[in-house]
Amino acid sequence: MDTNAKGHCPYIDNPLPQCYCLRSESIWAERVLELCAKRFELCEYYRMRCEEEHKSDGGGPKDP
């Protein structure tokens, strides 16, 4: 049993254009099953999007 599985990616319903789940080539199917469906925290696009959302939430430096 895989105890590290977290569930599907929260962005799967609103993916980035470069997301694996939007790619039609079968070579990406394994990543969709592994990352999008189970281990999204390992996905570089998931991480990138989290960082961008953190910045837009005011996570960056503030004006005095």
> In the bound complex, what is the minimum distance in angstroms from residue 63's beta carbon to ligand SF4?
31
> In the bound complex, what is the minimum distance in angstroms from residue 52's beta carbon to ligand SF4?
11
Q: Residue 31 or 63: which CB sits closer to ligand SF4?
A: 31
Binding-residue pattern over the window 1 to 40 for ligand SF4, x denoting contact by CB under 6 A:
--------x-xx--xx--xxx-------------xx---x
For tokens 């503030």, what's the residue? 62
For tokens 């997301």, what's the residue? 19
